[in-house]
Amino acid sequence: MEWLSAENIVAVATAVLGVLASVGVLWYERRVPRRKRIGYRVQMDTPIGGDVSQGRANVRLGLFNETPDMADATLVLLRIENDGSQSIADNDYTGRELHGLTAEFTDRTVRGVAVTHSPGADHLMEHFTPAAGLRQSGSLIRLPRVPLNRGEHFKLLVLLTGAAVGSRVRIIGGIRDGEVSPNRALRPDDKPPLFGRAARLITVTLTVCVITLASIILVRDDTPPPMGCRRGTLTLTGSTAFRPALLDLKKKYEKECEGSLIRVDVHGSNAGIRDLADRGSEAGKSGPPAVIAFSDGPGPDGFPQLRENRVAVSLFRLVVNDRVGLKNLSITDIRRIYRGEIRNWKELGGPDLPVLLVSRDANSGTREVFQRRVLGYNEPAQSSRDCTTKDDTGARVVRCELDSTEQVLAMVGRRDGAIGYSELRRGTPLRGAHQVAIDSATPSVETIDSSTYPYREVEYAYTYGRPPTGSLAAGFLGYLTRGNGQDVIRAHGHLPCATPEGLRICGEQ
């Protein structure tokens, strides 16, 4: 299930959280407040007496100055309101007495009370009578069972003595299926908020969700996988000349295509083809093996079950030891050298050094290309196992065979008078050896379609029959012939067959 990734789970969870936050706040706004609720708050508590113990200096004139026992007087404005979403009837008050609620002014004595109501609520005044329960006693004011519609309120302006400003003020009583509790409103000097508490909560929650989703979009890589991406395991075998390119292709493919595992195990073109054929015949009805064999040029006959795919044009080169000094050889001279007709480099204007032929073994596709494209015949038999001592005394020249291109290049660089061959490797300097031109032509990918340089061949990728469409083998072949793998192939000095010039050359074979 490709969608079940960590990124998608976080994205879905964040979106669900945002939706739940919105629904939750709406539910809270609509459902929770639908309780019966009476709220109260002190809107004013100020001294009007002349006692300095009140902590506020004031100047009094008229009645305030003449009224006795008002030295510690205070004036409180108490607002009582229905701030729920349901109306409150007289029978909603839970007290057993005549009155409904009690206002308590701790440590102060009530001297006078004036009741006011909200605009349009004149009917409330008929409830504020002694018969309905309105009374004052000491620090208490008993309030009638006043029915309040949603949003209605009344206020008590209370004259008090006996304690300083700020003494506790509270409402005592209960509401059936509701509550009586203090609330808060803006004071005259307060700046009103732009949003309410619920609006702020939902805004913050949704903002966090949006930022999280945006971060996922920015961080995640939405680039579609390259053409040919598949999961599974695959073995690449065959050509040692193509090995450097295969190693880089393996790294790039595994990096770009999650879930792929590629093993590079090359031992020569012919050995790789035989290994592929053997694995395929052993697999039988279980399906073709997850193996691709690469060959420098077409594979040997006798394997009709193998399917070929032309991948690239590979260029090869002749290399000689630096002591030789020659920079160019004609095909005629190269053929004379390998026939043993030229045994010393001085015969070609070089130094007085015996010719040493360093070649690849019989499994090498590079050797077969050299024989087919340059020599026109098979190389002579091996005459030395250590590339130094002539084991065959009848041989005209010393010739040895090595298992890999790396060994050939290293031996040519160490042995004076040595000559060998390898694929063209970009970015890999020769040590103790240098490349020689063939008939004044040098290998170049840029001029391959117009050059007469002979030492080149098509690189083939062989599979055992047609690989299944969803297999890693099929995906990797597509990656080489139509996808991003062509950049790696070109970087290693090979020309992809998919390019216009590559198609012309690959089609000639």
- DSSP for 454-471 reads --EEEEEEEEESSPPTTS
pLDDT the model gives residue 190 = 46
Q: In what order do the strands lie in the sheet with 169-172?
A: 135-137, 140-143, 101-105, 169-172
Contact by Cβ (8 Å): 269, 363: yes
287-330 per-position pLDDT tens digit: 899 999 999 988 888 899 999 999 999 899 999 999 999 999 99
| Mean pLDDT of all residues in 205-210 | 71
DSSP, collapsed to helix, strand or coil, labels residue 243 as helix
Question: Which pair of tokens denotes residue 163?
Answer: 């304690």
Name the amino acid, one letter, at 99.
H
DSSP symbol at 345:
G
Question: Which pair of tokens denotes residue 371?
Answer: 């024989």
Number of C-beta neighbours around residue 108 at 10 A: 24
Strands 260-264 and 232-238 come out as parallel
Q: In what order do the strands lie in the sheet with 109-117?
A: 109-117, 153-161, 74-82, 36-47, 178-182
| Mean pLDDT of all residues in 194-217 | 66
What percentage of the chain exceeds 90 in pLDDT? 50
| Cα(136)–Cα(79) distance, integer angstroms | 17
> Binning pLDDT at 50, 70 and 90, where does residue 2 land?
very low
Strands 178-182 and 36-47 come out as parallel
> Binning pLDDT at 50, 70 and 90, where does residue 279 land?
very high
pLDDT the model gives residue 238 = 92
Strands 495-496 and 109-117 come out as unpaired
Q: pLDDT at residue 122 above 90? A: no
432-484 per-position pLDDT tens digit: 999 999 999 998 888 887 888 999 999 999 999 999 988 999 999 999 888 88
Number of C-beta neighbours around residue 146 at 10 A: 27
Give 214-218's long-range contacts (Cβ < 8 A, gap of 24+).
Answer: 216/7, 216/10, 216/11, 216/14
Strands 74-82 and 153-161 come out as antiparallel
The radius of gyration of the chain's CA atoms, rounded to the nearest angstrom, is 49
413-427 per-position pLDDT tens digit: 999 999 999 988 766
168-199 per-position pLDDT tens digit: 999 999 999 889 999 876 554 445 455 556 56
Average predicted confidence (pLDDT) for the chain? 85
Strands 356-360 and 398-402 come out as parallel
pLDDT the model gives residue 110 = 93
348-378 per-position pLDDT tens digit: 999 999 999 999 998 888 999 999 999 999 9
DSSP symbol at 354:
B
Sign of the CA dihedral running 163, 166, 167, 171: positive
| Cα(359)–Cα(39) distance, integer angstroms | 101
